[in-house]
Structure 1
């Protein structure tokens, strides 16, 4: 079985498992405890924090370990906006886009519903890109507490020109949060320049249940979890030491391997896109043709049903998805594809292929495209 749903989650890497194993079976101390076992755990936690901070281009003290990307996005969006409201009640606005992960969009909806925050949705073009001029116009309209825009979209793979967007936010004195869950490990994040960055370990080869939010020290943050004051008071709860070690190890491996693997994976993805476009007449690539994540290709297949194509692909030994795993099972067309201007009946035919860090064998993109063509023909014939 060929697993092509790495955008949803990745297998745990053996090297990561080995790095975290001592903190699962032997070194089990609580990092808040003031004895040798606790101090040993605290040292491991801080070493992991240093390594994560280095990968993100942030200070060690700015990294907050969380249970994953969803919690980190909630903490960023709610925490920064609530802190801003406490300082200046006039900064009652949040700017984001309709193609963000649900953890961002539902956090924005919460702030609107319970705190009267005005949520401005920036339009995206047909590839899913945000314009810097549109962001500037939105920030000119009213005092804003936060801009939250994802680095790379998890359904279509479009990578935003984050540098230009960060520059606009900075000119207006507004902090910017970047959800980098999909891009972490695949793209160098050290030069983003954002004020807050979210990552999740299970997209990088760690077990599920660990993530991080890095927030510049100058940005006030209201904690959402209260208790023992862990993570410098910004996220209470006993830290997942083994998970933090795993996240640091996965990021280090990804950073070391990126130059070696990224160009080949991108080349093979481009070959796959071309082969599918040639083999399947109704195939239409979604997202940006060039500024996209290496290893992600999403298509619509007009005249089919995306879920039926997925079943046919799995019968032929290929596991893929119809988009975000968080929206799996929904009968509604993808809001991301609708925001790109794709009609609902076409959006429901989408299939996403997301490759892992290891390149496919030579010739595999064409062979895989032939399997896709067979699956689409089987569905079209029914």
Structure 2
């Protein structure tokens, strides 16, 4: 393993040696036996992968389709779901910016739901809106990508179900990180983030009333080796992964809370290991991100406002470790401290 302090799991997790070996071994099997023979031999492993992902998302294995990414999952929903023309989609202020763009590209009208002072969905207002002027669907980002803003998916699903309005969930940052087993009408995520699987693998789970419209997705051309890697990554996922990552996040927030020039941008009571930092001394977040990587080998993410234009007033620095030792804490806080001007 390199000397890199990897705090970018929210972009791409770090595959384990066993996951890398699983990909390599499948590619070797393709070379030795042929690609389609190797795919047939991998089929039981991939069925277990779908069943395991289904359990994480609150669905059975038959609900789960493979995709190539979260973006692909949303695109498949927009192409195949029976939405009326010029339909309204209701989102929260922390909605992922490119999702909004995709809704508009498909001719949908985007409405923004009321949120509280911290950016969380106002459930009373949602209930009122569903009763008075129901949209064609509600779309929630389970956990924002720029700070630990988690939406009340379970409660929203109950209200949407009572109103007969489908709920779609973007679980890109939540899968293998936060609780996700709510059984939303549709939920999608990539495997490359907190599951730490190879890039190019994603999942889409669709509830029974609409499931038949998504048949055939698994048959599209793909990297079977990457899916095998995802199966290995899921097999390694600890049963207490939510608690472990919550503990990592608590320690990280404690450590950075007193670092001069930064403040934690997460809402009160935030959980999980994704942490957003707001600069308080006019730092250029992109320049800081480059300096941390180039001078300290600390890999972070500069989150610009396009990620959530209705929730972000300025860029944030995102920290997203899958694990964190005390030496890592000292290294991070030391590299974040403001530089003092030299004298003389």
TM-score greater than 0.5 by the shorter chain:
yes
1:354 aligns with 2:320: yes
Matched, 1:196 2:191: no
Q: How many residues align?
A: 336
* Matching residue of 1:322: 302
* Residue 229 (structure 2) aligns with: 246
* Pairing 1:20-169 to 2, within 5 Å after superposition: 20-27=23-30, 39-80=40-81, 83-85=82-84, 92-112=87-107, 117-169=108-160
CA contact (8 A) 1:286 1:300 kept: no
Shift of 1:211: 0.6
Seen in structure 2, the aligned counterparts of structure 1 residues 46 and 105 have a Cα distance that, compared at 3 Å, is: same
Map of 2:277 onto structure 1: 298
- The answer to whether residue 207 in structure 2 is matched with residue 216 in structure 1 is yes
CA contact (8 A) 2:264 2:275 kept: no
Inter-partner Cα distance in structure 2 for 1:219 and 1:50: 19
CA distance, structure 2, for counterparts of residue 269 and residue 140 of structure 1: 41
- Equivalent residue, structure 2, for 1:334: 305
| Farther off after superposition, 134-143 or 60-69 | 134-143
The separation in 2 between residues aligned to 1:295 and 1:269, in whole angstroms, is 9
Contact 2:96-2:308 within 8 A present in 1 as well: no
* Conservation of the 8 A alpha-carbon contact between 2:138 and 2:166: yes
- 2:8 counterpart of 1:5: yes
Structure 1 gap segments, 5+ residues each: 224-231, 324-332
State whether residues 152 and 293 of structure 1, in contact with CA within 8 Å, keep that contact through their aligned partners in structure 2. Answer: no
Question: 5+ unaligned residues in a row in structure 2: which ranges?
Answer: none
Instruction: Give CA deviations for 1:224-280 in whole Å, capped at 9, x if unaligned.
Output: xxxxxxxx3346513433222322332332243516732431332122232xxx231
- Secondary structure at 1:6's aligned position in 2? coil
| Alpha-carbon distance change, 55 to 30 in structure 1, aligned in 2, over 3 angstroms | farther
* Alpha carbons 2:5, 2:299 under 8 Å: kept: yes
User: SS state of the match for residue 139, structure 1?
Assistant: helix
Q: What CA distance in whole angstroms lies between the structure 2 residues aligned with 1:313 and 1:60?
A: 42
Query: What's 1:326 paired with?
Result: none
CA distance in 2, matches of 1:244, 1:316: 34
**Partner residue of 1:368 out of 325, 332, 335:** 332
- TM-score (structure 1 length as normaliser): 0.78
What do residues 285-333 of structure 1 show as CA deviations (whole Å, max 9, x unaligned)?
Answer: 213132232242322334222122223323233221211xxxxxxxxx5
Q: How far 1:221 moved relative to its partner? A: 6.8
Deviates more, 1:120-129 or 1:54-63: 120-129
Helix, strand or coil for the counterpart of 1:119? strand
Q: Distance in 2 between matches of 1:156 and 1:221?
A: 36
> Does the 8 Å CA contact 1:128/1:158 hold for their aligned counterparts?
yes
